[in-house]
Structure 1
Amino acid sequence: MYFLEINKKHIEFLGAIRNWDNVKAAFDEQSVWVKDFLFEQLSAVEIQQIPFHVIYELKNNLLFKKGSLLPTKKLPSGLLWTPIVRALPVALPSFNHNYFGIDQKLEIHLKASEAVREPYALLTDYSELVNYIEKAPDFRLKPLSWVILEKKILIFGNPLLPVKGETYWLKDDFLLPTGYDFEWSALSKTLQQDLNPLGEDIIIWNKNNNSIVIAKNKMKPLSISSFRLTFS
């Protein structure tokens, strides 16, 4: 049998699995415990995206961290188990990712993701774009907007143009490289509230974990005329 443990102050991250009606939760003085997982649920994205959690396997009333041959501790006695949907309130407390204890610092990184995401933005060079856009019909450009980004051009919308470049998908006003997601995906909205509280910007998050902020009011509709005027 497997158990998940997470500190009570991080309880809000269990919201990702609150709808799993097969699992049960219990509380001790410091932690929230969750059990009765289906085996395939242990490797599900919803579990992987919960920061600060630990998965244990129970053997002879001793808890072994998943994959470890050495026991860590005993399962607390007297736990009162209840379906997780009842154990967790609908409105979970807000999480301040700016504060962590000395041993609880969390860095935000991207990681490769197997999830298929529809590209929403294309970062390309002028030389790649000019040959296509001069011949493109208006209806092909009308759904799109664009902005000049340093020495490149960023195009937003769907469907994107069949032009060579780097593609990004949209998540909570972040543009993430296709094929990648935040390591702790559950922090996405928290990051947005901290970095873009008014929702006035789009933030590009690159694979090297650098970010670029673009004001939404800087984007303009893509058309042949706007393109020619800009580069005339």
Structure 2
Amino acid sequence: MYFLEINKEHKEFLGAIRHWENLKVAFESDVIWVKDFSFAQISSPEMLQIPYTKLYELKENLLFEKDKLLPLKKLPSGLLWTPILRALPILLPKFNHNFFGINQKVKMTLKPSENTREAYALLVDCEELKTYIESAPKYRLEPLRWIVFDKKALIIGTPLLPLKGDTYWFENNFLMPSGYDFEWNALTKIMQKKLNPTEENIVLWNTDNTYFNIPIINFKPLSISSFRLTFS
């Protein structure tokens, strides 16, 4: 069994693993203890990004630093264990939904991610799209919808077209640049409810952590006729 130790002053860094509902937390003076990690969680990128921690393996009630042969200390007695979601509640401030950014009290930032997901959206130059769809078979375009966004064509759906452009992952009505994820992933669903409570929009995130609300109703089926009508 593995235990993580971190000082209370650094507890905000536990936000990276707060969504692991199997974990339990206990408080001891100025220290926070976390237990019940799976083996996969111990070696995960989320764990590696948490600073100021010590990771122990428990053997016969003695704590060994991970990959060390000699025990360092005993596990404190009398710890009261609580599920991590209850022990570390999240308090969110009120948000100004007319502002294209996020209140600084809870700063949602994107970071490079080692996870891979299928791209769901493509932002491509309109001229390049025009050249492709003029000769593309109808069945290739039918699953897709599109809108003119930032003077380019934003296409959603799969499979995406084989065109050069910026691709995006899709989760909780968020479009995030491929290869990126939120630093505080546990806040994703909460942020979706705050920024897009009616789920009538798709929220497109940029790597500089700004975002845009795009009404879903504004997307139209991708076809040569809809493209020509848009630019007629």
Contact 1:120 1:169 in 2 (8 A): yes
Could you say which residue in structure 1 is the equivalent of 2:19?
16
Aligned partner of residue 19 in structure 2, secondary structure: helix
The answer (yes or no) to whether the contact 1:16–1:46 under 8 Å persists in 2 is no
Distance in 2 of aligned mates of 1:158 and 1:30: 50
- 1:153 deviates by 0.8
Alignment of 1:113-132 (within 5 A): 113-132=113-132
Q: Which runs of 5+ in 2 are unaligned?
A: 58-62, 67-73, 95-103
Residue 98 of structure 1: how far off its partner (Å): 2.1
2:90 aligned partner: 95
Over aligned residue pairs, what C-alpha RMSD do you find? 3.8
Deviation of 1:29 after TM superposition, in Å, equals 7.7
| Maintained 8 Å contact 1:3/1:57 | yes
Q: Distance in 2 between matches of 1:34 and 1:153?
A: 47
Supply the distance in 2 between the matched residues of 1:25 and 1:93 (Cα, whole angstroms).
8
Partners of 1:29 and 1:47 in 2: CA distance? 23
User: Structure 2-normalised TM-score?
Assistant: 0.72
* Cα distance, 1:41 vs structure 2: 3.0
**Does structure 2 conserve the Cα–Cα contact (< 8 Å) formed by 1:17 and 1:46?**
no
Quote how far apart the aligned CAs of 1:24 are: 5.8
Distance 1:89-1:43 versus aligned 2 partners, 3 A rule: closer
Matched residue SS, 1:214:
strand
Identity score, percent: 48
Distance of aligned partners of 1:109 and 1:90 in 2 relative to their CA distance in 1, 3 Å threshold? closer
The one-character-per-residue Cα deviations of 1:74-110 (angstroms, maximum 9, x if unpaired) are 97552146xxxxx4399999733328xxxx9542111
TM-score norm. by structure 1 comes to 0.72
SS of 1:78 mapped into structure 2: coil
Structure 1 Cα separation of the partners of residues 93 and 215 of structure 2: 24
Which letter does structure 2 place at the counterpart of 1:18?
E
8 Å Cα contact 2:24/2:83 also seen in 1: no
- 1:171 to partner: Cα distance: 1.2
